Amino acid sequence: MLDWTFCVDGPLPIPSDPTLLMEHPTTAPDVPLKNRSLAALLALTWPGMGHVYQGRKAKGLLYFLCIFGLYAVGFALGEGANVYWTWVNPLRNPEHFRLYYLGQFWVGLPAWPALIQATLIHQGFQPLFNGFMAAPMLDPTMDNGVREVMQEVVRRVFSLHQKYGGLKEIGDIYTTIAGLLNVLAIYDAFEGPAVRQEATSTADVSSTSEAESA
Amino acid sequence: MWVPLPEFTFLLGLINAYWFAPPLILVISLVYAASRHEAWPLIFRHATRLFLMIAGILALVTVILLVINTQV
């Protein structure tokens, strides 16, 4: 026995008994999820890649264009200096803790070089590629070679405000939201779409309704 | 090695900050709708509705704030 409830796309059958949910899958039928864990991992690694692996290529392309596109524009708005991480305790050193990166991280590979740079600096090594995606932070304990590179990073980041005003902040928002949106894409790769049953038209829904009442 | 796009960034800097909102709303709407549905007509329908709703709320809040600002 099914109750009718209304969602964004019209009426969808919901079992009145919660135990019947097992009989009614929570994902759309015929969505090939393959190895769901691998798909989720691929989606985390690169936006859209999990869906391409599942054969949902158009959706993968949509996620890639939307998420990576948003990230790339945000990255350009900060000239690459707005995606970085620091290994600091947020309770002891809140001004150097990079909250935005907790969102940016989920974009995947495009954001992960920041983790490598932060780890190198934290261990006392010189960052790679002249401090590309390194945190603009100077520490008295840094040796001269590292300090020289980091001074250039700091100078560059602070010059962004003089050149572009608030653009860097918009870049922060773009890159962070891109990462958070990829969490939705990862979930979609793992679980399939969130709807209960796909009905592409009201005719499909009404025919289902007649069948249920019969 | 820095991003070799300072010219591109400079061009973006010429755009009024408000114009960065519609693409962001569009992307959020599309990705959210795509995570809910598999059928493209439903994705686009849901995304359109969501885009209009978010943009409408933002516009309404902006108008209210502007009205308040003119009265202060």
pLDDT digits over A125-166, tens only? 989 988 899 998 888 878 888 888 888 888 888 888 777 778
Is pTM beyond 0.75 here? yes
Which one, of A200, A205, A195, lies nearest residue A25 by Cα? A195
Q: How far is B60 from chain A (nearest CA, A)?
A: 21
* Residues A44-88 pLDDT 10s: 999 999 999 999 999 999 999 999 999 999 999 888 889 999 999
The span from the first CA to the last CA of chain B, in angstroms, equals: 49
**Residue B32 C-alpha from the chain's centroid:** 13
- Name residue A6's beta-bridge partners: A11
Residue partners of A97: CB distance under 8 A and separation at least 6: A86, A88, A89, A90
Contact between A118 and A97 (Cβ < 8 Å): no
Instruction: State whether residue A165 sits within 8 Å of chain B by CB.
Output: yes
B15 φ/ψ angles, rounded to the nearest 5 degrees: -85, 140
CB-CB: which of B9, B28, B41 is closest to A79?
A: B9
* Residues B39-71 pLDDT 10s: 999 999 999 999 999 999 999 999 999 999 998
Which residue out of B7, B29, B31 would a mutagenesis test of the A interface target, given it has the greatest number of A Cβ atoms within 10 Å? Answer: B31
Q: Do B35 and A194 touch (CB under 8 A)?
A: yes
Which residue out of B1, B35, B43, B44 would a mutagenesis test of the A interface target, given it has the greatest number of A Cβ atoms within 10 Å? Answer: B35
Q: How many Cβ atoms from other residues are within 10 Å of residue A187's Cβ? A: 15
Greatest Cα pair distance, chain B, in angstroms, is: 51
pLDDT score for A10: 46
pLDDT score for A203: 46
- Name residue A11's beta-bridge partners: A6
- Name residue A14's beta-bridge partners: A3
For residue A104, is pLDDT > 70?
A: yes
Please name the residue of chain A whose CA is at the shortest distance from the CA of residue B26: A66
pLDDT score for B11: 78
Give the integer Cα–Cα distance in Å for B46 and B72: 39
Mean pLDDT of A106-126: 94
Q: How far is A2 from chain B (nearest CA, A)?
A: 21
Q: What is the CA radius of gyration of chain B?
A: 17
Q: Which two tokens stand for residue A181?
A: 């949106």
Which residue out of B8, B25, B36 would a mutagenesis test of the A interface target, given it has the greatest number of A Cβ atoms within 10 Å? Answer: B36
% pLDDT > 70, chain A: 77
Average pLDDT, chain A: 82
Give the integer Cα–Cα distance in Å for A170 and A192: 31
Mean pLDDT of A89-111: 95
Q: Do A76 and B27 touch (CB under 8 A)?
A: no
Give the integer Cα–Cα distance in Å for B19 and A191: 35
A8 φ/ψ angles, rounded to the nearest 5 degrees: -60, -25
Q: Do B45 and A9 touch (CB under 8 A)?
A: yes
Q: How confident is the model at residue B23 (pLDDT cuts 50, 70, 90)?
A: very high
Q: How confident is the model at residue B5 (pLDDT cuts 50, 70, 90)?
A: low
CB-CB: which of A130, A166, A170 is closest to B1?
A: A130
Contact between A24 and A13 (Cβ < 8 Å): yes
Chain B positions with Cβ closer than 8 Å to A: 1-3, 5-6, 8-10, 12-13, 17, 20, 23-24, 27-28, 30-32, 34-42, 45-46, 49
Q: Do A76 and B3 touch (CB under 8 A)?
A: yes
pLDDT score for A23: 43
Higher pLDDT, A32 or A3: A32
For residue A26, is pLDDT > 60?
A: no
Q: How many Cβ atoms from other residues are within 10 Å of residue A55's Cβ? A: 12
Which one, of B7, B3, B19, lies nearest residue A82 by Cα? B3
**A13-22, A32-41, B3-12, B57-66: least confident range:** A13-22
Residue partners of A37: CB distance under 8 A and separation at least 6: A190
Q: Which two tokens stand for residue A97?
A: 């803790």
Please name the residue of chain B whose CA is at the shortest distance from the CA of residue A129: B1
Mean pLDDT of B28-49: 96
Q: Which two tokens stand for residue B61?
A: 């809040």
**A12-26, A125-139, A144-158, A182-196: least confident range:** A12-26
CA angle centred on B68, ends B65 and B72, rounded to 5°: 135
**A2-11, A194-203, B24-33: least confident range:** A2-11
Residue partners of B14: CB distance under 8 A and separation at least 6: none
The sign of the torsion formed by the CA atoms of A196, A201, A203, A206 equals positive
